[in-house]
Chains A and B, each alone.
Chain A
Amino acid sequence: MVLTRSSHLRILVIVVLAGVSAFAQTPRTPAPTTTTTPKPKPAPVVLTVEAPVAIRLRNGDSTEKSVEVERRSTVSLCVTSGDVRVNGWDRAEVRALVDGGSLEFRVAERDPKTEKPSWIFVVGNAPVRAGVKNAGVKSDECLSGDLVELDIPRDAAITLRGSPSDTRVESVLKAKIENISGNIVVRNVTNGVFATTYEGGIMVERSRGPMTLTSASGGIVAFDVGQSETGDVFKARTNGGAVTLQSLEFRQVEASSITGGVVYRGKLLAGGQYSFGSQNGRVVLAVPANTVCRVNAWNGLGGFVSDVPLQNAVKNGQSTLGRLGNDDNGCSLSLKTTTGQLRISVGTSDK
């Protein structure tokens, strides 16, 4: 049988159509979902990234600004949400970053010679009113975000109030913080710490200057802190937490708690005045064996024990008068409790 050219074409078309038809009718098996591996998402920003700020900025929901200021200046802000990090640096400049919010600088005061700002407010979303000086921060001008970061000159003071989650301040001249809630951590502050939190704890280390630490319900820890000038006072008070003090070099120390304990470990300096108290907690002092101090212990309905022998001790009902050491030129120590326990023990080191 001889096939013509047209026959060849017809056969080819038929074969092609049949193949297409067969392919279309082939039953499909659903792809097993268990074997499907999802496409990996981009890796989240981790803290070890060299410049996380820059990465965050690329997201477009953060604001970063800077302003040149006097080295010895004051930076004030209020924060209604988010963690706060304040760090001292060597530049005469304030850099502020709000992750998840906006910010502006408002100059409250300028140095008359250099015309540089000596007091600035870092404010949030509210429009900056030109020409308004010393107006403070209105409540609707508080910063708000996930994280507020500030770099300020080392010789600058920071004033912060608000209700952030946590606050950390390092390497500045002075820190004044008042928070409704959240923990406060302060390090390397050279000339004074005034910290208050109504729900949270406070920790201060390697700092100098007068200190007033107040917590309504959390604990207070201070170590390696001391006075920057003669007469600086250290005060720590909490209603519900414990106060732990170690290696203090102050000559005026007051520490108290209502339901928590108070622990002091370190030297009692000659000529110093020390007062520790707790309503129903334990007050424990661990001092060097060679401590010289007049002791007045008011133990109330609780107890008083001294591992260091008290000289000339006179017990009079609920109080005990005595002396640590034989010298009269020591410090003055007052211990008070209502139903708790007072104890003086020998510390293992001079520090």
Chain B
Amino acid sequence: MEKCIDEGTLQAFLDNELDSEFAGRVARHVTGCESCAELLAVVEEETALVFGALEPEINTLVPTQRLWSRISETIRDDRPGIWQRLIGPVNAMFARMSMPAIAAFASVVVVAGSFVVLSTADAGREDLTVASSVRQRTMTIMTLPKPVEAAAPTEVAADEPEDAIRPVHANYERTAAPRTPRPVVAGSRFVRGEETYVKTIAQLEKTVDANKDSLLSPSARYSYEKNLAVVNDSIERMRREVRNNPKSDAARQILFNSYKDKIDLLNSLNERGELMASLR
């Protein structure tokens, strides 16, 4: 059985970055390999997600590069190949021939020239094959999932011909986010958007803790502490809920609402202090 295809190659396949022959092989393999088909579906989903999220940026920032890529491809297609470049003058020469001797001489030259051309073409083909294999190899590097440090693209650019402009979206694939957007920031103890609230509250608490004994009567202090305890409890419970259910927008909204309540509570104490100070 043929070896399974790695994710990077599948990514390149989806991005139409493989040459037609290799792409055909990949397609044939995927149709017969269930695990590769599943992997392809996953990669396709990721690609759709990433491009969906980055669509505005791609559409606004990159069109020039994409355009250049397309233009360079077009130029490459329109440029005459080495065979055409050689055949062209020969055809013109044949068109000017009128004498049999000249024609015979020309035939000899053509035959000899054909050998030269064929040998040149073989050498060129080898070069092209090498270039193609390099390109394929570098493609694989380019599309490795997520090694952001894959500064490989820069290296690739050095190896590639000048007119070969890499597809721009390859960059986005390398910097792709995890498969599903998570409100909990990786490696952080805060839910996304939570840190601002926490910092604000920390600042307010400094002032409040320093002044609450002098600002509040016993009954007001009781009421304040009770309310604070309720809000703190709500925040803790909703934080757990958000962590357990990171996709829930509702949970996050309610968590942030609890934070706002706490800020209002602390603010009310500070405002009370300001009013008292203005009356002294």
Task: State the A residues within 8 Å of B (CB).
Answer: 78, 80, 139, 142, 161-163, 178, 180, 196, 198-199, 214, 216-217, 237, 239-240, 256, 258-259, 277, 279-280, 298, 300-301, 316-319, 336-339
Contact B268 A258 (CB under 8 A): no
Contacts of A316 in B (CB 8 A): 248, 250
Contacts of A280 in B (CB 8 A): 230, 234
Contact B231 A198 (CB under 8 A): no
Q: Total interface residues on B, using CB and 8 Å?
A: 35
Say whether B257 faces chain A, with CB atoms less than 8 Å apart: yes
Please give the distance in Å from A301's CB to the nearest CB on chain B: 6
Please give the distance in Å from B239's CB to the nearest CB on chain A: 11
Contacts of B258 in A (CB 8 A): 279, 338
Say whether B280 faces chain A, with CB atoms less than 8 Å apart: yes
Contact of B251 among A162, A237, A279, A300 (CB under 8 A): A300
Please give the distance in Å from B274's CB to the nearest CB on chain A: 10
Contact B257 A258 (CB under 8 A): no
Say whether B137 faces chain A, with CB atoms less than 8 Å apart: no
In angstroms, Cα B279 to Cα A78, docked, is 8
Known: A298-B250, A300-B238. Is A258-B275 also a contact (CB below 8 A)?
no
Contact B230 A216 (CB under 8 A): no
Contacts of B230 in A (CB 8 A): 258-259, 279-280
Contact A258 B261 (CB under 8 A): yes
Contacts of B257 in A (CB 8 A): 277, 298, 336, 338
Smallest CB-CB separation from A179: which chain B residue? B275
Q: Mark B227-269, 1 if CB is under 8 A from A, else 0.
A: 1001101100110010001001111011001100100110011
Contact of B272 among A180, A301, A317, A319 (CB under 8 A): A180
Contact B254 A216 (CB under 8 A): no
In angstroms, Cα B23 to Cα A135, docked, is 83
Known: A280-B230, A298-B250, A318-B248. Is A161-B279 also a contact (CB below 8 A)?
yes
Some 22 contacts from A to B, beta carbons below 8 A apart, are A139-B279, A142-B279, A198-B268, A198-B272, A199-B217, A216-B272, A239-B264, A239-B268, A240-B227, A258-B230, A258-B261, A258-B265, A259-B227, A279-B231, A279-B234, A300-B234, A300-B250, A300-B254, A301-B237, A319-B253, A336-B254, A338-B258
Contacts of B251 in A (CB 8 A): 300, 317-318
Contact B264 A318 (CB under 8 A): no
Say whether B179 faces chain A, with CB atoms less than 8 Å apart: no
Contact A338 B238 (CB under 8 A): yes
Say whether B154 faces chain A, with CB atoms less than 8 Å apart: no
Smallest CB-CB separation from A317: which chain B residue? B248
Say whether B276 faces chain A, with CB atoms less than 8 Å apart: yes
Known: A237-B264, A279-B234, A279-B258. Is A317-B250 also a contact (CB below 8 A)?
yes
